[in-house]
């Protein structure tokens, strides 16, 4: 992917999906009565939305295209953070919720990482690199949560 506006259009979709899933997970943890994890997921959802708005503003691109679903070019035909997402069961437990989020963050990281390596557009490379770094931090945070949840 060598067009920065196209890259941002994909990132917007990816982050929007991520935010929506974190909101579902936060709702699941409310049902579960896990306030700490609920507020963590809520914060991650808000961060997804904020992070992308900042990236778009910082890059100064105004003409990010609005793509129809068939116009997206995902590695496996589906947004990486959405792959394997069957929705959150109302009775999801904390460890399963964290595992779902972790799987999705790992796919997001792999997606940006691959673009940072394969793109020939220097702007796409820089943005993909910084997004990959951000996803790596999310992965690390969730790995800590997983340890806590499985130890409990």
Residues that bind Zn ion (CB under 5 A): 105, 135, 138
By beta-carbon proximity to Zn ion, the closer residue of 52 and 122 is: 52
By beta-carbon proximity to Zn ion, the closer residue of 17 and 135 is: 135
Closest distance of CB 33 from Zn ion, Å: 25
Rg (CA), the chain: 16
By beta-carbon proximity to Zn ion, the closer residue of 13 and 105 is: 105
Closest distance of CB 34 from Zn ion, Å: 20
How far apart CA 49 and CA 135 sit, in angstroms, is 14
Closest alpha carbon to 53 in 18, 22, 16: 16
Closest distance of CB 135 from Zn ion, Å: 5
How far apart CA 124 and CA 47 sit, in angstroms, is 21
Q: What angle do CA 127, 58, 49 make, to 5 degrees?
A: 80
By beta-carbon proximity to Zn ion, the closer residue of 29 and 134 is: 134
Closest distance of CB 18 from Zn ion, Å: 6
Closest distance of CB 97 from Zn ion, Å: 15
By beta-carbon proximity to Zn ion, the closer residue of 10 and 138 is: 138
In the bound state, the residue with its beta carbon closest to Zn ion is 138
């Amino acid at each position: 992917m060598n067009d920065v506006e196209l890259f941002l259009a994909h990132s917007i979709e990816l982050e929007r999906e991520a935010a929506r899933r974190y909101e579902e997970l936060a709702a699941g943890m409310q049902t579960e009565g896990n306030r700490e994890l609920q507020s963590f997921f809520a914060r991650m959802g808000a961060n997804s939305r904020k992070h992308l708005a900042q990236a778009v503003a910082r890059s100064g691109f105004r003409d990010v295209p609005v793509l129809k679903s068939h116009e997206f070019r995902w590695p496996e035909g589906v947004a990486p953070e959405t792959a394997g997402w069957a929705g959150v069961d109302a009775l999801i437990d904390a460890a399963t919720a964290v595992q779902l989020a972790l799987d999705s963050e790992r796919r997001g990281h792999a997606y940006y990482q691959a673009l940072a390596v394969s793109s020939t557009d220097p702007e796409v490379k820089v943005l993909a690199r910084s997004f990959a770094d951000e996803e790596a931090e999310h992965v690390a945070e969730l790995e800590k949560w997983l340890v806590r949840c499985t130890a409990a």
